[in-house]
Amino acid sequence: MGLDKTFKDFNNDFSCDTLEQWIEHLATTELTHIGNSACVTCGENVEFNWTGKLKNGLTYPQVLCEVCKSQ
């Protein structure tokens, strides 16, 4: 399989052209996501390094800051 499509996962030699296929791939393949995002509770910026499968149509992990995690 070539990686000539719009959405690419080089680690798993996967690519596709539709968002629906990409969301299905994210839900069935364990991937590591690294980046910055807003805490889903308070909105504070959070750096994250998260590994897992994304369910419910998500395309990135929903993260909590340390303060919200501890509550």
Report if residue 2 sits inside a domain.
no
- Segments forming the whole domain that contains residue 54: 7-69
Report if residue 62 sits inside a domain.
yes
Report if residue 1 sits inside a domain.
no
pLDDT tens digits along 19-47:
999 999 999 999 999 999 999 999 999 99
Q: How confident is the model at residue 54 (pLDDT cuts 50, 70, 90)?
A: very high
Structure tokens at 2: 């070539």
Report if residue 63 sits inside a domain.
yes
pLDDT at 59 over 90: yes
- The DSSP-derived string for 22-49 is HHHHHHHS-EEEEEEEE-TTT--EEEEE
